[in-house]
């Protein structure tokens, strides 16, 4: 926080917003978003429902906020050279499969964009990005969107220029498509089995595309 001239009010506002997100995402490890009540989770956090809606316009917008944090971490991995090429692409897919709420998050974000295709992106302050990932912020990392993330990783593979954008679109289609198929298939013995099978499905898809 020493890099910011920021007051206690602004600090508390940013940390509360992140706390709301973390509480909802944690609950989604066991329940789909539509089963979660704003009132119950606000009580757990210690805020009012009115306060919640000062931060987010809907429960779905929390998922958008979480994905922005995820994209910022991925962008940092690309910037510092940790994520490259095919391994970097598989890491992105695996991060979804490995997250305990991954399946519920993916289904929710698909439903959200189908209902609100022209929704305004959530506003995230520089200080919130700093709280997301201080190292990324301090090194000037830009939060890339998913197409740009895929584009950067594909550039490591020396693909012909005219193949990059079609491949980006294919990879993004698989990002959502494999998640959807694994969700509806979802009759696995336990969550560990589901996670392993999801990672295998993602790997097969990436290997087929690249």
Q: Is the pLDDT of residue 178 over 70?
A: yes
1, part of any domain: no
166, part of any domain: yes
User: Model-level pTM?
Assistant: 0.91
Q: Which range, of 49-63, 72-86, 102-116, averages the lowest pLDDT? A: 102-116
pLDDT of residue 72: 98
34, part of any domain: yes
| Domain span including residue 53 | 8-209
Predicted confidence (pLDDT) per residue in 57-95, tens digit? 999 999 999 999 999 999 999 999 999 999 999 999 999
3, part of any domain: no
94, part of any domain: yes
pLDDT band at 1 (very low <50, low <70, confident <90, very high): very low
108, part of any domain: yes
Mean pLDDT of 165-192: 85
- CATH number for the domain spanning 84: value is 1.10.357.10
Predicted confidence (pLDDT) per residue in 134-167, tens digit? 999 999 999 999 999 999 999 999 899 999 999 9
Number of domains in the chain: 1
Q: Is the pLDDT of residue 188 over 80?
A: no
148, part of any domain: yes
105, part of any domain: yes
Tokens of residue 196, six digits:
């392993």
């Amino acid at each position: 926080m020493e890099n910011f001239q920021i007051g206690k009010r602004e600090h508390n506002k940013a940390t509360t917003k992140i706390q709301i997100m973390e509480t909802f995402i944690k609950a989604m490890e066991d329940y789909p978003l539509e089963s979660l009540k704003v009132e119950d989770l606000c009580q757990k956090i210690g805020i009012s429902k009115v306060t919640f809606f000062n931060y987010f316009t809907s429960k779905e917008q929390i998922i958008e906020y979480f994905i922005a944090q995820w994209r910022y971490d991925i962008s940092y991995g690309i910037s510092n050279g940790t994520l490259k090429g095919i391994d970097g692409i598989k890491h992105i897919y695996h991060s979804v499969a490995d997250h305990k709420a991954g399946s519920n998050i993916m289904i929710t974000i698909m439903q959200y964009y189908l209902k609100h295709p022209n929704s305004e992106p959530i506003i995230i302050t520089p200080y919130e990005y700093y709280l997301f990932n201080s190292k990324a912020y301090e090194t000037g990392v830009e939060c890339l969107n998913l197409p740009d993330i895929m584009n950067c990783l594909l550039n490591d593979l020396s693909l012909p220029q005219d193949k990059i954008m079609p491949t980006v679109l294919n990879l993004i289609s698989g990002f959502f498509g494999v998640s959807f198929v694994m969700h509806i298939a979802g009759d696995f013995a336990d969550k560990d089995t589901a996670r392993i099978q999801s990672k295998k499905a993602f790997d097969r898809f990436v290997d087929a595309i690249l």
